[in-house]
Every structure is written in structure tokens, then in C-alpha cells.
Amino acid sequence: MRFAGTKSRALSLSLAGVLAALSSAAVAAPGTEPTAAAAAAEPTTYLVGRGIADVTGEAAEVGMMGYSSFDQKATGIHQRQRSRAFVVADRDSGSRVAYVNADLGMIFQSVQQGVIGKLKQRYGSLYSEQNVLLSATHTHAGSGGHSHHLAYNLASLGFQKDTYNAIVDGIVESVVEAHEDLKPGTITLGRGELTNASVNRSKVAFDKNPASDKAAFPGAIDPAMTVLRFRQGSEDIGAINWFATHNTSLTNKNTLLSPDNKGYAAYEWEHGAKGVRYLDDKKGFVAAFPNTNAGDMSPNLNLKPGSGPTEDEFENTRIIGDRQFKKAQEIYSEPGTPVSGSVDSRMRFVNMEEVTVAGKYTPDGKEHRTCPAMVGASTLAGSVEDGPAIPGFTEGMNSPVAKLLEPFHIDPPEWLVGCQYPKANLVPTGLISEAVPATPKILPLQIVKIGQFYLVAGPGEFTVVSGLRIRRTVAAELGVPIGNVLMQGYANAYSQYVTTPEEYDQQQYEGGSTLYGRHTLPAYQQEFGALAASLKSGTAIDRGPTPPDQSGRQVTLQTGVVLDSPPAGRSFGDVLTEPAQSYAPNATATVEFVTGHPKNNLRREGTFLEVQRLVDGQWVRHQDDGDWDTKYRWVRINGVTGTSKAVITWKVAAGTPAGTYRIVHHGDSKTLLGKITAFTGTSRSFTVN
């Protein structure tokens, strides 16, 4: 992610003005060989269930989340975003965990609080912050405004209630569906490597790490893909496929909501390979593609936005997604290692601004402390590989005092450069958090155990070496091979980046975005180590300080829908532009309708469009706005009268059955008095040859 607004000059002004006011074989690190014990393990029969639900937010006139450019406002939908959930329960002890991966930029703490609150209302203590792991794919093409911290809501002009509710409700529904789907089943664990879907975008920082760290990543990337395969009896029901790459194939010039490359990978497996139709009310295969330690991993293989392997950002999205899908399916199809053993979890909240870190975890062997959160100047430079920078800011911007002291080889005095040295400080978000909830300080840290497989859930973007060090710490504390431990980033809350101290010193984009200072990673190692010790011993651990509920402090500057009006002589749903009479494969059909604002009804678990095919005299839905080949665009015609149109396109993919088709638009209009009325428009029919 780019810190809110880091890709636009508008953010720098806003910040200054607003804020300154399971086995080792299956998940082994590169070079780790299977153990005989792992190969011979017998599977444990768990209760397993899967679920999926829609989390698509407002599709027009709302700032998008990820790049946080003030110029990037949603104008429609390419593909809907979804939450995918799996529940695993130990049949002997009753202990369980719920794992969620959602097509979102981040899981903000606001979302965790909302989801846990609703699950508690429904299930009591059965699902809690202790055993529910919420993670995001990190798409940069979703609607924003669902955080309770100002820094992440700037580009969306504040908190957007409808988007927030869509996300929370969708995640809860996916967990409920997984819970109700619980049946006896087994899990197997597989691993492989994928080397053509990521590149290190911050190699100058990566190269400053010790040789022992870099040796784990010969190509400066984390190529590991880890796959959990879920079965109920003899039926395959789903998979979780972890791989480290930024979900940023689509650039900040795109304004259509999309789950990006990881969403396409899930769609290709679920819809393309398994025949899942999301709007059908029946169970289907669920394929989640979460991220791991992807902080410095980019899918833009040519190291510039929207470039690599082609110069078409949508084609890149498809290709990078397809590569993840195919590798995951290959691993999934292999025998794998049975997952066996108990189910357990630990979670505690930690004030990351006030951690005293023991010398055991620090580079110099001395005790250090983390710092109040501060945004570095190089944050506003952005990562040029994934998005344009703000003029005047460059990666590598250090404190000017650091440069003066370098020739003398002395430690800078605390009073001169402060705790965040050598960061060139820009916005002291931690110092103003009481007045303005700008960035979080109390964060959830969690470890989930499923048999011999451990997920370390961290609330940020961990670089590959940061993830490696945490995995080593946790594995050593648990007394298990490092291959049994996986870093799950973008989990349960969001606090930007986590770099190693050596990477931090370079103050590239990721280092400038490491909020709590040079010893942020050592603090995480220490705190995750404590969680691992509690998990190993089977003892409880203190929950830690309760993060504040900031829901009552939210504001928005985004205007709502005042009214919708059709053009003179027209009605809502009327066709403005009809399709041609026929289309050949690879051609694109376009239809325009008189419409209302999509904010009137998000149509979650529904659709704004249908491509219908005539089958035996009946019109049958062929595709909708969750499909890759369709696009729904909302276009404002007159802001004073509230007149707008929907532009629906359908690319007729090769292999589309010949026949008769039509395009249908579903929308909703709003009167000046606030009444919302649904309508449907239908194009004339056309043929596909």
C-alpha cells in the first residue's frame, strides 16, 4: 500500500494541513527437505467448512483504497470483491479457528472490531478475536473509507459507512456460511515455488541485510507457494494458496473496482475450473489466494507501474493471476502431506509505540524501545515500481543530521534526531493520536495452529526478510522446523510496513513507512516469541491493552446522492445505445442505459448487469458483474440534475457458445425526498457467431 495519499501532491498538502495539525516438507524454506516423520504422518479428521460472500463497496464517487490518490475515484466494477472463509475444528477438544481472506486492500482494526462484534452477537464466545484470523489480499482497486484512522481515509474524504458495512457484513456472512458447512474432513499441505510472478522492488534495501538472510532468497524474492487442501470425506471443497506478491497489477489510473491478480486467480479456479456461479444459491469450491510477507514484492516485473509482463495493466492482472492459479493447482494436485494434530490459537494486543525490546532481538545486542508512530519523508516518494511519486520527495531521504554525523561514526544524541533516526520525519501521527486518531498504536498479534502448521498473523506489510526473521523466532520458540511456520501479513489490523533494521536505515519507501522506528521488527519478534511460548506450553497469555473504539469519532466530507433524474423524455432503464446485431469472438458488445447512482443500492450478493443467453426459449444468466469479461461503468452526465448513464461492456471470449444474447442492467434511482426505486433495463437481442 501507499500511505494515504502518498501518490498525489494533494495528500502531502492534506497531511501537512490535517495531520500536522503443514509439515516441514510442505511449507519448508528453500532448500529444506522433507522429514520421514512428516511423510509418514496420518491425517487428522477435523470438522471443516468453507464459505464465500460479497464485500464489494460503493462503486462510484468514492476514493479508492491502496494508492490513495485523490484523483482515483471509483467509476464502476470490473469484478466484485469477495470474502473467503474456512473454519477448522478439533473434533476431540472442540477448539476451532476461523480463517478469512478478503479481496480488500487491508483489514483495518475497525473491520476486525465490527466483525468480531457481530460474530459475538450470533455465537457468543465461540468465535472471538482469539481464534478468528482476518486477512486481506491487498488489492489496490477497492473502494476506501472503511478505516477508523484518518491517515487511511484521506483519499476517500473520510469514513464511508456503506462501504464499511458491506465489508463487515460480507466477512461475517462468509464465516457463518463456513460454520454452517462444517463436516468431517481432512487437510493436506503442499508446497512449491513460483518465480515469475514477483520482483523485489526495493533491492537496494534488501541487499543491506546479512548474507545469511539473503541466502534464503537467491533471486531477492520469496518464491514459496504454500497450499492447504480441504476435503469433506472424498469431496474437495477448497484451498488456501499463500504467495508473496503485491496485488498491484492494476495501477492508480484504474477506477473500476477489482480484486486484482489474486482475485483473478481465485476466479479462474472457482469459476473457470470448478464451475462456481457466485449468484447461484449452492455450495461450491472456494479458492483463497492470500498474501504473506509481500512488503517488497511487486507483480510489475519491469519495475514500473502497469508494466510486466505486458504493457496492458488488465492483461498483466490476468497473467500474474493465472500464474498463481496454475502453480497452486499443480501443488494441490500432488499428494501433499497430511495435516495432523490439534487446533489452537493465541492473540494479544500490543502497544507498538511503547515496546522495550530485549537485546536478544536487536542487531547490536542492546536494549532498545520502539517509537511513537511517525511517517517518513520517503513515504511520500512512494514506490516508483508500483506508483508515481510526489515531486520533491525521493526514496532514501534520511534525516539531514544523520548525514552530518556519518563521518564521525558516532551515535546521534536522542534529543537531536530522536527515536526514529535515521528517518526524515514528516508527520508525527503517534504524537497527535489523542486529538486525531491518525494511525493505530495498539495492534493485534496472533498465531494460529492447525495441526503441525502455524500461521503468524501480523498487522502490516512485512518484507521478505522481516517475515523470515519472525518465522525463525517463532519456529525456534515452538521447537519446530521453520518450514512449519508461515507469515500471514495484512492481518487483523493495518499499520503500514515492517522492515529489518538494516532495510530501515536505507529509508526506501518501505523504511519510511515503518511507523514505529528502527526496532519495529525486533519488537515483533519478541512479542510473537512470547505468543509462541504460550502456545507451546498450553498456558494463557495476557490479552494486553484494549484498543480504543474510534467509531464515534468518524466524519466524512463525501456528499451523498441528492437525487437521480433521467434525461428529458426518457425513463430509468431506457437503452441509450443498443448493441450491434451480431458479434464474433473477441469482439466487445457495448450497451448504454439511463441509470441512477450505484450508491443507492450496492447490490451486494447481486449484480448491476447480466449477459443473458436464450436457452430453450428462456433467458438464462450467462455472465454478471463478477465475471472477468464484463465491465460496468457509471458516467455522470449532469451533476445538477443528477443525470447519469451506465455503460456496460462484454468482451465475447473465444469459446463463447453461439446463440442469441442480450444485456440487462439492474439499477436504483433516488427522488429528492429520498425514496429509492429499483428498475431494470434490457437491450435488444443480438447473436454471437
Catalytic (active-site) positions: 298
Distance in angstroms (rounded) separating the CA atoms of residues 339 and 343: 11
Distance between CA 313 and CA 319 in Å, rounded? 10
Burial 302-314 (b: 16+ CB within 10 A, else e): ebbbbbbbeeebb
Which among 392, 117, 64 is positioned nearest to 260, based on CA atoms? 64
Distance CA 646, CA 473 (A): 53
Q: Which residues of 654-672 are buried (b: 16+ CB within 10 A; e: fewer)?
A: eebeeeebbbbbbbbbbee
- Residue linked to cell 464484463: 630
Give the closest residue to 444 by CA, choosing from 114, 109, 120. Answer: 109
Contact 378, 397 (CB under 8 A): yes
Please write down the HEC assignment for all residues of 433-463.
Answer: CCCCCCCCCEEEEEEEEECCEEEEECCCEEC
SS3 531: helix
What residues form DSSP beta bridges with 199? Answer: 298
Q: What residues form DSSP beta bridges with 183?
A: 48
Tell me, letter by letter, the H, E, C secondary structure of 321-363.
HHHHHHHHHHHHHCCCEECCCCEEEEEEEEECCCCEECHHHCC
CA–CA separation, 294 and 497 (whole Å): 10
Rg (CA), the chain: 25
Instruction: Compute the Cα dihedral for 469, 470, 474, 475 and give only its sign.
Output: negative
Q: Which amino acid is at 352?
A: M
